[in-house]
Chain A
């Protein structure tokens, strides 16, 4: 809750930059106060680019971004959870580390361009990296061509998320491996399987949940790049354009939405982790 309030204040500060009278400290603080009062009335100002209310313009763009994040989350869990469990387990943990370093060293945009190259040359799929933004296909499309166009950004976001998911799982597995309860439980006569299943697995899942905020950060960052690389008209693409054209009302609002999303997911993840294995503390 405190984090969300902080995000609102940060949004007001950025938004106040757009006001023409906000020169000098006193005037700027007054402008920040005025913006906070406007936010309380759900007035987020107008876009300097389109002249439309910022909320209305964002409302047109945010569904595409959320669909991309949602689909990417699905891919991240499908790919990241098995990888994390496989490489987090004892025998493979050490040998997986160098491989993971190589994979994690690739910036998201390089991975996206490589995916597009592979899809175009090996699968002969259409790629949207040089198409106009208006031709972007919806994520949940019905025809094959649109599905192929949408698959690459989803994969790109999903793989970035999968890297964060497997890291969170491996970290949780490493924490679990060094817990002192293992010796005690063995002395009490529990088998290794029982210790893993009853105690370690919930702790590892709780570790994943407590890293939900970090995973969301990775997904959102990848979404920004994916929308730019694959010319998708989403909120992240709008943010890049808003900053380039100094549309601070719009940039501030998008930043607030992203920060709020991260904070809420982080909070829910910590609550879930706490409920599951008293992992972390909800704040």
Chain B
């Protein structure tokens, strides 16, 4: 127990750097796989009868086939492509409407900023998954990426708002020397947001991917034939207990995507960028 919570020596920056590099390399490889998915896949998306039904992994079908005889390697590649493209769109929305707007709102006049914080705080108290489902229900499944981004935005807004220290030394100094709030905001966006953008983007990608795939798993996301990984796993629910590969490979692909994004964001979860 002695000095249990005391700060450890800085022995692991190299490990953190390596893991972060692995995360970015993984995301790069995923981007390549997505870009080449049509070439790498054996069959077009949703092509039934590519092999026998529920065929176990073999040299002909490395990931096996599903209930409709679809080649799961091809389906996983197409599903990964849909998941990544939707998640990227959602992450951009979450960053702009959440992180960026939150940082801007914190530099607005105090009453206005706090009012915005209170209003958006109500939405942050709703689980992002339920908010995403509700937004899709109110619009259409076509807007699932938008809904996932909007669902992740309130929490990102609140965190970004709370992170901006309006009483920081440079803010006090700026006020004392008559520097306007707009200039101070521009300085914050230029330096602080720029420095954390890669971390914020990777973390937003991981969060939105989880929301999107879960929403799809529950039947509110992608629509066939453009199946994403969540929908593929949902479809495998009836068969995976006796044909594990129908759910395992899409789940592993999803896990790798989220893991790479989280590693790229860095290991220090004690900070909330």
Contacts and interface: CB of A to CB of B under 8 A. Distances in A.
A130 interface: yes
B256 to A, nearest CB: 8
Contact of B255 (A106, A121, A127, A201): A106
Interface in A171-199: 171, 173-178, 182, 192-193, 195-197
Interface in B197-230: 206, 210, 213-214, 217-220, 230
Interface size range on B against A: 35 or more
A107 B220 CA distance: 16
A44 interface: no
A170 B268 CA distance: 10
Contacts of A197: 1
Interface residues of A, number: 75
Nearest to A177: B7
11 contacts: A90-B7, A94-B11, A101-B259, A106-B255, A107-B258, A113-B240, A130-B241, A201-B5, A213-B125, A239-B133, A243-B134
A217 interface: yes
A110 B214 CA distance: 9
B137 A258 contact: no
A117 B125 contact: no
Given A117-B240, A177-B7, A204-B5, A244 B219 contact: yes
B244 A129 contact: no
Contact of B233 (A110, A171, A193, A246): A110
B240 A14 contact: no
Given A105-B258, A259-B126, A90 B4 contact: yes
Given A110-B254, A255-B130, A175 B270 contact: yes
Chain A contact residues: helix, strand, loop or mixed: helix
B45 to A, nearest CB: 22
Contacts of A113: 233, 237, 240, 247, 251
Interface stretch (A2-10, A138-146, A268-276): A2-10
B233 to A, nearest CB: 7
Interface of A: 2-3, 6-7, 9-10, 14, 17, 85, 88-91, 93-95, 97-98, 100-102, 104-110, 113-114, 116-117, 120-121, 127, 129-130, 167, 170-171, 173-178, 182, 192-193, 195-197, 200-201, 204, 213, 217, 220-221, 224-225, 228-229, 239-240, 243-244, 246, 251, 255, 258-259, 262-263, 266
A93 B11 CA distance: 11
Interface string B124-135: 011111100110
B237 to A, nearest CB: 6
B12 A94 contact: yes
A113 B240 CA distance: 9
A173 B134 contact: no
Interface in B92-130: 118-119, 121-123, 125-130
Contacts of B196: none
